[in-house]
Amino acid sequence: MNKKLLFSIILVVLLLTPTTLMADTTESCPCGIVPNYIETVTVSSDESTTTSTNVLESGVTYLLEASGTYRFANWGDYGIADAEYSNRIASSYGPGWVLGDDVFPPTYPAHSLDININGSNVDWGDYNPEHVYKILFSGKGNTVDFSIYDSHYGDNSGNLTVDIYECVDETAPVVTINSPTDGSFVSGTVEIFGSIIEENELSHYNIAIYPGDADFMDFSKRLEYKTEYLSSDFANKLIYKWDTTTYDDGEYLIRLAARDCAGNRDLSGDPYIGGDDSQHVITVFVDSDNDGILGENDYSQKQFQMFQLKN
């Protein structure tokens, strides 16, 4: 077949084929963290490199949002590019908005016309007709360079922008055991209710039962426990049912603790207050016959008397 005829057929097929690229609006700071705006970098379409004013701290996650379009060729309504895609319909390079890699014929270098970071190409995601793209970027303790990669800058005009946001969550969840209350006598199956306040996204909570004289930070001392993974906080929710009928009368500890999705847990407050930090510990007394007396166990009775003296 004649090469010119083959080329014409391929070009017609490309022009008639609708694009299936969809907008990607899902990228954001992890764990529901609200992004904190840092600065806006203007990236020129010429051969220059623009450096961020701020140092992106090592190990910190940042959200980079590239937006806008610029002109890379004088093709009327075409010859326009954004951070990842270019519109070449007026030429032989393909239909509508395409990746730099997808040009036809492939005379341009891969990733042409994209925004590069520190001299390297990045994947800005699926095509967005609003020409806004978001990626997560890990800081390296340096400023960041942005540039547009092209093989010919002479006919370029305009610029793009990159907004830099910091993804930082330093707020830990706050927990409270609502019921039973500290110092309560309990028997049978005890329903434990708790509350957790979390500003962004929760990871999990742990509810545990300990002997009354145990170190509640020594997890090997737990008599029983449950870890529940969920994203939302809650108020006065039933979080555990404890069957006390298998235990001797006496003193026990109930501990509720939580972490958020970013791994934050604050243990700096008073664990016995509740609503003070990420853990709350209460003391309860198992009273199997529910008569307010801990039975014939003198040790248990003494422990209860000591608790009364402390409180």
Residue 161's pLDDT is what? 98
CATH domain 20-167 topology: Jelly Rolls (2.60.120)
**Residues forming beta bridges with residue 242, ordered by sequence position:** 190
From residue 92, how far is each of 71, 96, 297 by CA, in Å?
Answer: 17, 11, 92
Residue 283's pLDDT is what? 98
Residue 50's pLDDT is what? 97
**21-26 CB contacts, 8 Å cutoff, 24+ apart:** 21/85, 21/97, 21/126, 21/127, 22/126, 22/127, 23/126, 23/127, 23/128, 23/129, 23/130, 24/125, 24/126, 24/128, 24/133, 24/134, 25/128, 25/134
What would the pLDDT profile of 276-291 be if each residue is shown by its tens digit?
A: 999 999 999 999 887 6
Residue 308's pLDDT is what? 61
User: Average pLDDT by consecutive 10-residue portion of the chain (311 residues)?
Assistant: 33 31 56 91 96 96 96 86 83 64 56 90 92 96 95 91 94 97 96 96 97 97 98 97 96 98 94 97 92 56 59 62
What would the pLDDT profile of 87-133 be if each residue is shown by its tens digit?
A: 876 555 555 787 765 554 555 666 788 999 999 988 999 999 999 99
CATH pick for 174-310 out of 2.60.40.10, 3.10.150.10, 3.40.50.620, 3.40.1180.10: 2.60.40.10
Phi-psi region of 278 (alpha: psi -120 to 50; beta: other; left: phi over 0): alpha
Residue 75's pLDDT is what? 81
In whole angstroms, what is the distance from residue 215 CA to residue 52 CA? 50
Helix, strand and coil content of the chain, in percent to the nearest 5, comes to 15, 40, 45
Which run of H or E residues covers position 72?
strand 70-75
In whole angstroms, what is the distance from residue 226 CA to residue 217 CA? 15
What would the pLDDT profile of 61-75 be if each residue is shown by its tens digit?
A: 999 999 999 998 888
Residue 22's pLDDT is what? 33
Residue 73's pLDDT is what? 86
3-state SS assignment for residue 74? strand
* pTM value > 0.95: no
Domain ranges of the chain: 20-167, 174-310
In whole angstroms, what is the distance from residue 124 CA to residue 132 CA? 9
Domains 20-167 and 174-310 equal at CATH topology level: no
Nearest to 87 by CA among 143, 21, 169: 21
In whole angstroms, what is the distance from residue 60 CA to residue 131 CA? 26
